[in-house]
Amino acid sequence: NFILTQPHSVSESPGKTVTISCTASSGRIASKFVQWYQQRPGSAPTTVIYEDNQRPSGVPDRFSGSIDSSSNSASLTISGLETQDEADYYCQSYDSSDQGVFGTGTKVTVL
Amino acid sequence: EVQLVESGGGLVQPGGSLRLSCVASGLTLSNYNMNWVRQAPGKGLEWVSYISSSSSTIYYADSVKGRFTISRDNAKNSLYLQMNSLRDEDTAVYYCARLTGVGYWGQGTLVTVSS
C-alpha cells in the first residue's frame, strides 16, 4: 500500500515559518505530481499548491511547495504565518496504478 | 467562476442505496478527469473513485469496490456516484473533485448510514 505520512500537527507564532512534510512509503515521490490542500473547519478543501510547486491564482506567495528526492518527501512551507492560515493541510499524489492517495493530514495552529 | 455542486446525500439504512450527483458550472466537465473523495466525521480525506474524461478508465478504492459505481454525463456536465450496499463506515461528506492541475472541489454532500 502506498501511504503518504504527514506530521499530526505543527504550531508556530504569527509571522514565523512552518514546513509540513509528506513522506511516501514506497516508490519515488518525484515520479508523480503532488498537490496540497487547505481545509478550514466546516469548509471544503481548496488547492494551495498543485503540480509540486505551482500556486493557483489568489494563493499568496507565502505558500510554497517542494520535492526532496533524497528523503522521498514533499514539503509545504508557509512563511509569514497569519491567523487565517490555521487549518488542516493534506498532501495528495498517486500510487503506481494512478489511483489517488491523500496524506494523513496536518493541523496547523497559529499560536 | 467554477462551481461544483453535489446533491443526493441523506440518511439511509445499512444495506440501502443512494445516488450522488455533481453538476459543474463555469467548467466544461468533459475536458477533465474527475474524482469522488470522502471525509468521515473528524477524519481525513479518503479518495473513493476516479473516472477519465471519456469514461474509458475507472478506478475504485478497495473499500468501495463492487458496491459503488462512478459515471458521468458530459452532455449534462455532470458526475455521479451510485452507492449500493451501504455500510455504517460509508458515513461521510462526499466531494466531487478535480485533483489534477489547479484542482476544484465541490462543497460536499453528507451521507449518513444508520439504522
Radius of gyration of chain A (CA): 13
Q: Which pLDDT value is given to residue A97?
A: 86
Tell whether B110 lies on the interface with A, counting CB pairs under 8 A: no
Confidence label for B68 from pLDDT (cuts 50, 70 and 90):
very high
Q: Which pLDDT value is given to residue A35?
A: 97
Confidence label for A17 from pLDDT (cuts 50, 70 and 90):
very high
pLDDT at position B53 over 90: yes
Closest CA to A98 of B65, B103, B29, B35: B35
Length of chain A: 111
Q: Dump pLDDT digits (tens) for A38-95.
A: 999 999 999 999 999 999 999 999 999 999 999 999 999 999 999 999 999 999 999 9
Measure Cα distances from B53 to B11, B32, B35, B115 in Å: 30, 5, 11, 37
**Average pLDDT score, chain B:** 96
CA distance B16 to chain A (A): 26
Could you tell me if B115 and B13 are in contact, meaning their C-beta atoms sit under 8 angstroms apart? yes
Could you tell me if A37 and A49 are in contact, meaning their C-beta atoms sit under 8 angstroms apart? no
Minimum Cα–Cα distance from A106: chain B residue? B44
Confidence label for B46 from pLDDT (cuts 50, 70 and 90):
very high
Nearest to B105 among A44, A100, A102 (CB): A44
Q: Which pLDDT value is given to residue B83?
A: 98
Q: Cell numbers of B71, please?
A: 459515471
Could you tell me if A5 and A25 are in contact, meaning their C-beta atoms sit under 8 angstroms apart? yes
pLDDT at position A1 over 90: no
**Rounded CA separation A102/A57 (Å):** 23
> In what helix (H) or strand (E) does residue A39 lie, and over which residues does it extend?
strand A35-39
- Cβ distance A102 to B35 less than 8 Å, yes or no, reads no
Question: If you count residue pairs, one on A and one on B, with CB atoms under 8 Å apart, how many are there?
Answer: 56
Q: Sign (positive/negative) of CA torsion A107, A90, B96, B81?
A: negative
Q: Which pLDDT value is given to residue B44?
A: 97
Could you tell me if B27 and B74 are in contact, meaning their C-beta atoms sit under 8 angstroms apart? no
Q: Which amino acid, one-letter code, is at A84?
A: Q
